[in-house]
């Protein structure tokens, strides 16, 4: 390699470094330094945009063509992008692959085209063209390959910057959403409680209502209760996200908690037409956990099971001690969880289209997400048994002792 070429390569690197390594700076530095390929009368960086390519940077006889767009499949550059292979044209006048009118317009007889790779794809090409046939040697091709490296790095820098901007924007949106949910939920909770209380009083029979008003009050009461559950769920999520959910960690008789859940949910289950069963060991099973939060999780699982189970079926709750903890299993005889939905089962607001219309009462799509978060805060795991075929089976696995941070918080 002669001295002029070496100096040219050094100058390119200097310009790239001075400009901070951005893609546009890299492209301009490469096309502006013609000393590395003195026989060339033009240097072009062409980038892909869908089924077209465009001149992103150019010098020499092609300088005035910056911004020009061409069909991807109508030029040697396009063929290089599509194939991912470097291509050479020794003489445009005899090569059917080239766009001859375009070549003549810039005084082009020969060229080399080197693809620019990025994340497994070809995003563009670096092209050197000359006014004479057979103008490029093997050394020229090697130098062109070397200069594609900084272009590929420039694309990576753009991708990283875009990813960082997207991440920052996402965090901003999440924060705004959390603030909105928290504010709205707190503002709605008090009036909703008052409305629900008033409707309950009207429904109690202690207030005389016209016959035509009774069903309307019942509908309003159900919808107010549903909206209150949604607000309560949103507040729980807000507390979980903000690390503000309180836990009372103490030695807890798990069987007693489950019996309490069964008693408290029996009326709801009866209205849904299902029977609740409880199977616990004769000897009490204790764990260091939060009984109230565990109640909340199991009650939600029973509620879901009852809503999706056919009338006359059974929802079962089983407690089994394990060497390192306890397992609570809640099973139903409903349609089960479709395989294609299982990966999203614990996502917020996630409801399977396959079960829409099967449930007896609509839900918020938040219960499982909240339950999973609570169980994890207790050092446990909430999971679906994907091998259970008689309906759905959810397992709550809890350690004998809560995580240290929860014990400290208690």
In tens digits, what is the pLDDT along the chain, a chain of 410 residues? 565 665 556 666 656 656 555 677 778 888 887 778 888 899 999 999 988 999 999 988 888 889 888 888 878 999 999 999 999 999 999 998 888 888 888 889 999 999 988 888 888 899 999 999 999 988 888 888 888 877 777 676 665 666 677 777 777 876 777 777 777 777 777 787 788 788 878 877 777 778 788 788 888 877 777 777 778 878 888 788 778 888 999 999 999 999 999 999 998 899 889 999 999 999 999 999 999 999 999 999 999 999 889 999 999 999 999 988 999 999 999 989 888 888 888 988 777 655 555 555 556 678 899 999 999 999 999 999 999 988 999 999 999 876 655 555 55
Q: What is the pLDDT of residue 395?
A: 97
pLDDT at 305: 93
Do 188 and 336 lie in one domain? The reply is no
Task: Using the 3D structure, point to which of 241, 270, 287 is the last residue of a domain.
Answer: 241
Q: What is the pLDDT of residue 75?
A: 86
Q: What is the pLDDT of residue 300?
A: 92
CATH number at residue 349: 3.30.565.10
Range of the domain at 226: 165-241
| Last residue of one domain, picked from the residues 116, 139, 158 | 158
Please state, in angstroms and as integers, the Cα–Cα distance from residue 154 to each residue in 119, 132, 409, following that order. Answer: 12, 31, 49
Which of 91, 124, 158 lies at the terminal end of a domain, its last residue?
158
| Predicted pLDDT of residue 162 | 61
* Domain co-membership, 146 together with 177: no
**What is residue 199's predicted lDDT score, i.e. its pLDDT?**
82
Q: Are residues 149 and 9 in the same domain?
A: yes
CA distance 360 to 308: 7
The pLDDT score that the predictor gives to residue 2 is 63
The CATH number covering residue 232 comes to: 1.10.287.130
Both 223 and 267 in a single domain? Answer: no
* Whole-angstrom distance, CA of residue 309 vs CA of residue 302: 10
Tokens of residue 163, six digits: 């990813």
SS3 for the chain is CCHHHHHHHHHHHHHHHHCCCCHHHHHHHHHHCHHHCCCCCEEEEEEEECCEEEEEEEEECCHHHCCCEEEHHHCHHHHHHHHCCCEEECCHHHCCCCCHHHHHHCCCCEEEEEEEEECCEEEEEEEEEECCCCCCCHHHHHHHHHHHHHHHHHHHHHHHHHHHHHHHHHHHHHHHHHHHHHHHHHHHHHHHHHHHHHHHHHHCCCCCCCCCCHHHHHHHHHHHHHHHHHHHHHHHHHHHHCCCCCCCCEEEEHHHHHHHHHHHHHHHHHHHCCEEEEECCCCCCEEEECHHHHHHHHHHHHHHHHHHCCCCCEEEEEEEEECCEEEEEEECCCCCCCHHHHHHCCCCCCCCCCCCCCCCCCCCCCHHHHHHHHHHHCCCEEEECCCCCCCCEEEEEEECCCCHHHHHHC
């Amino acid at each position: 390699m002669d001295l002029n070429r070496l100096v040219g390569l050094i100058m390119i690197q200097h310009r790239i470094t001075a400009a901070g390594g951005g893609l546009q700076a890299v492209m301009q530095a490469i096309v502006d330094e013609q000393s590395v390929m003195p026989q060339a009368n033009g240097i072009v960086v062409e980038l892909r945009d869908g089924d077209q390519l465009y001149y992103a940077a150019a010098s020499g006889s092609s300088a005035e063509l910056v911004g020009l767009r061409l069909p991807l499949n109508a030029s040697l550059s396009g063929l290089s992008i599509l194939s991912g292979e470097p291509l050479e044209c020794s003489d445009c006048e005899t090569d059917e692959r080239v766009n001859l009118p375009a070549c003549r317009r810039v005084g082009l007889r020969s060229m080399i085209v080197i693809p620019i790779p990025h994340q497994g794809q070809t995003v563009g090409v670096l092209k050197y063209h000359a006014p004479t046939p057979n103008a490029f040697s093997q050394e020229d091709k090697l130098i062109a390959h070397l200069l594609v490296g900084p272009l590929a790095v420039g694309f990576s820098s753009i991708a990283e910057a875009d990813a960082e901007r997207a991440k920052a924007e996402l965090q901003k949106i999440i924060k705004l959403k959390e603030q909105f949910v928290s504010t709205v939920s707190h503002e709605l909770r008090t009036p909703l409680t008052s409305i629900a209380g008033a409707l309950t009083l009207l429904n109690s029979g202690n207030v005389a209502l016209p016959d035509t008003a009774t069903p309307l009050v019942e509908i309003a009461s159900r919808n107010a209760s549903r909206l209150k559950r949604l607000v309560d769920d949103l507040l729980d999520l807000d507390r979980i996200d903000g690390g503000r959910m309180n836990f009372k960690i103490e030695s807890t008789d798990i069987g007693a908690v489950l019996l309490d859940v069964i008693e408290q949910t029996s009326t709801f289950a009866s209205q849904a037409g299902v029977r609740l069963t409880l199977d616990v060991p004769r000897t009490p099973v204790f764990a260091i956990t939060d009984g109230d939060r565990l109640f909340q999780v199991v009650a939600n699982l029973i509620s879901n099971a009852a809503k999706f189970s056919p009338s006359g079926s059974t929802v079962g709750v089983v407690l089994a001690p394990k060497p390192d903890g306890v397992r609570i299993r809640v099973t139903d005889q409903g349609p089960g969880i479709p395989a294609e939905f299982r990966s999203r089962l614990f996502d917020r607001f996630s409801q399977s289209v396959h079960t829409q219309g099967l449930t007896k009462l609509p839900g918020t799509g938040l219960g499982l997400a909240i339950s999973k978060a609570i169980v994890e805060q207790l050092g446990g795991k909430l999971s679906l048994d994907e091998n259970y075929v008689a309906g759905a089976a959810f397992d709550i696995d809890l350690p004998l002792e809560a995580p240290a941070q929860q014990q400290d918080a208690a």
